[in-house]
């Protein structure tokens, strides 16, 4: 089973995360086309090579005319994503990340979530960071994502609301219950966008992990960091005070490790409850909420309960780390008075993706391998979407795409 480990050497931001993931799977051309379509102007995404303390790292390169694009509120961003051609999982993940930030800002400023007017986060580059990360994670499909503790600096930083303390109030609010370390560096290290990304995706914060390293990726931001002093965006304009002279330059790096763990640390639980007094509309809504809270799989089984009442058994498979929040969600959003849970095992084939093109349309193909087994299938959402465009029935298009796969 393949996973990702986010080693936050100097914190995390949206652009640093995207720069690292673009090295795992290069979708820069694809993302450029997607964002050009969404915003209606030319967007070019790529990577710039940088040297950070002797380590080759990559910085996100974004060419877009930001002056033509306004800041947006959460309601507008949600509408943009819902109307986009992105896969439903990408939309769901991106909206989940945005909602974490919106809810934090709502609490801090005392404004309704839908009325939150994003500034830094509503700007085009932050939208690209969040949606881009969701898109890339969906392409990589890691079985799990672990990370080191978040990194906080100190001091103050300028924002659209004025001077605010570091870490930013939104960052702290988002990372409640998330382990952190504070470094002696006078600048922002973990941004609200970076905080929301790790809060949404990371299933466990630990230094204790093992496996076989498959690859390592380094990304960097724009700042030059000084341990014990201040920081600046341009190294040639650094001014040193006494604390800086005795303190080394701190590496502004995010390291993402892709590795395989045959004895996966992921502990799964099955959470179940029987329900006989809820409408199908409410059950369907609960389904969506549980996925947003981290469920890996959900299914309903028709059963008969006492007094021969037709009912449903709700079954939720999740990682051990999500058990408590999912139990609380079930109790809050259903009529049940209790749940049962137990540990389960799961074995998975390794999953990867390739792409084929048919009459100008791109189709992602899922590949499953392991123990001498290899099988593949086109992604249904691509088949469904392009079937309408190509005017070809889905069953016929499915087999035409299968013929093109050369594995």
21 closest CA partner among 131, 136, 129: 136
Q: What pLDDT score was predicted for residue 240?
A: 39
Kindly tell me the burial class for residue 372, based on how many C-beta atoms sit within 10 Å of its own C-beta (0-12, 13-18, 19 or more): exposed
* pLDDT over 90 at 55, yes or no: yes
- Residue 10 has phi, psi (to 5 degrees) of -135, 40
**Which among 98-112, 187-201, 205-219, 281-295 has the top mean pLDDT?**
187-201
Report pLDDT digits (tens) over 145-165.
Answer: 999 999 999 998 887 767 889
* pLDDT over 60 at 122, yes or no: no
Alpha carbon distance 348, 1 (integer Å): 7
Q: What is the mean pLDDT of residues 72-98?
A: 86
Among 66-70, 177-181, 262-266, 382-386, the least confident range: 262-266
* pLDDT over 60 at 120, yes or no: no
Q: What pLDDT score was predicted for residue 225?
A: 85
Q: Which residue has the higher pLDDT, 301 or 225?
A: 301
Where do the structural domains in the chain lie, given as residue ranges?
2-260, 268-344, 350-404
Q: What pLDDT score was predicted for residue 237?
A: 42
Alpha carbon distance 345, 108 (integer Å): 41
What Cα–Cα distance (Å) separates residue 188 from each residue in 127, 238, 319? 20, 17, 32
229 closest CA partner among 154, 165, 166, 168: 154
Q: Which residue has the higher pLDDT, 74 or 29?
A: 29
Query: What's the maximum distance between 2 C-alpha atoms anywhere in the chain?
Result: 80
Listed in sequence order, the DSSP H helices in 9-87 are 14-24, 28-39, 74-82
* pLDDT over 50 at 121, yes or no: no
At 108, is the pLDDT very low, low, confident or very high (cuts 50, 70, 90)? confident
Q: What pLDDT score was predicted for residue 286?
A: 92
Tell me how crowded residue 77 is: count the other CB atoms within 10 A of its CB: 24
Task: Round the average pLDDT of the chain to a whole number and report it.
Answer: 86
Q: Which residue has the higher pLDDT, 248 or 100?
A: 100
Residue 108 · residue 173 · CB < 8 Å? yes
* pLDDT over 90 at 200, yes or no: yes
Q: What pLDDT score was predicted for residue 116?
A: 62
Give one word for 236, left, alpha or beta, with left for phi > 0 and alpha for psi -120 to 50: alpha
Number of H helices, E strands in the chain: 12, 20
Beta strands, E only, 239-370: 249-250, 254-260, 268-275, 297-304, 310-319, 340-344, 350-358, 361-370
Give CATH for domain 268-344. 3.30.70.1380
Alpha carbon distance 176, 179 (integer Å): 8
Two structure tokens written together for 59: 């910085």
Kindly tell me the burial class for residue 382, based on how many C-beta atoms sit within 10 Å of its own C-beta (0-12, 13-18, 19 or more): buried
Q: Which residues of 312-339 are buried (b: 16+ CB within 10 A; e: fewer)?
A: bebebbbbebbbeebbebbeebbebeeb
29 closest CA partner among 48, 42, 45: 45
Residue 136 · residue 22 · CB < 8 Å? yes
Q: What pLDDT score was predicted for residue 114?
A: 62
CA angle 61–64–65, rounded 5-degree value: 145
Q: What pLDDT score was predicted for residue 143?
A: 81
Two structure tokens written together for 204: 């466990």
253 closest CA partner among 13, 5, 3, 4: 13
Q: What is the mean pLDDT of residues 254-273?
A: 82
Among 140-144, 235-239, 295-299, 330-334, the least confident range: 235-239
Instruction: Compute the radius of gyration of the chain from its Cα atoms.
Output: 23
Among 13-22, 256-265, 267-276, 331-340, the least confident range: 256-265
Q: What pLDDT score was predicted for residue 30?
A: 93
Q: What pLDDT score was predicted for residue 73?
A: 75
Report pLDDT digits (tens) over 232-263.
Answer: 554 444 443 434 333 468 899 999 999 987 65
195 closest CA partner among 179, 215, 210, 211: 179
Q: What pLDDT score was predicted for residue 224?
A: 84
């Amino acid at each position: 089973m393949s996973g990702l480990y986010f080693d936050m050497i100097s914190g995390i931001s949206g652009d640093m995360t995207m720069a690292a993931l673009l090295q795992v799977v290069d979708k820069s051309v694809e993302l450029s086309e997607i964002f050009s379509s969404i915003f209606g102007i030319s967007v070019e995404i790529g990577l710039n090579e940088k040297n950070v303390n002797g380590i080759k790292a990559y910085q996100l390169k974004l060419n877009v005319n930001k002056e033509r694009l306004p800041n947006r509120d959460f309601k507008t961003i949600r509408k943009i994503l819902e109307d986009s051609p992105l896969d439903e999982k990408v939309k769901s993940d991106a909206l989940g990340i945005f909602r974490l930030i919106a809810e934090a800002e709502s609490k801090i400023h005392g404004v309704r979530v839908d009325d939150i007017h994003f500034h830094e986060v509503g700007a085009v580059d932050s939208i690209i960071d969040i949606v881009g990360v969701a898109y890339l994670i969906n392409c990589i499909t890691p079985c799990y994502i672990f990370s080191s503790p978040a990194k906080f600096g100190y001091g103050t930083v300028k924002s659209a609301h004025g001077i605010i303390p570091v870490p930013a109030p939104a960052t702290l609010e988002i990372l409640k219950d998330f382990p952190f370390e504070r470094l002696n560096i006078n600048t922002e290290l973990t941004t609200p966008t970076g905080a929301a990304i790790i809060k949404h995706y990371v299933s466990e914060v630990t230094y204790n992990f093992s496996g076989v390293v498959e690859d390592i990726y380094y990304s960097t931001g724009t700042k030059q960091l000084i341990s014990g002093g201040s920081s600046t965006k341009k190294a040639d304009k650094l001014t040193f005070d006494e604390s800086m002279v005795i303190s080394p330059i701190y590496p502004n790096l995010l390291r993402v490790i892709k590795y395989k763990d045959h004895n996966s640390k992921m502990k799964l639980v099955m959470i179940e409850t029987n329900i006989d007094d809820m409408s199908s509309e409410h059950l369907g809504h609960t389904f969506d909420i549980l996925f947003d809270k981290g469920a890996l799989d959900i299914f309903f089984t028709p059963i008969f309960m006492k007094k021969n009442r037709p009912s449903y058994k709700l079954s939720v498979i999740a990682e051990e780390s999500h058990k408590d929040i999912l139990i609380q969600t079930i109790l809050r959003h259903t009529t049940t008075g209790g749940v049962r849970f137990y540990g389960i095992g799961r074995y998975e084939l390794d999953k990867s993706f390739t792409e084929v093109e048919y009459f100008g349309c791109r189709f992602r193909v899922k590949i499953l391998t392991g123990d001498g087994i290899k099988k593949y299938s086109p992604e249904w959402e691509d088949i469904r979407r392009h079937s309408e465009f190509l005017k070809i029935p889905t069953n016929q298009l499915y087999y035409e795409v299968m013929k093109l796969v050369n594995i």
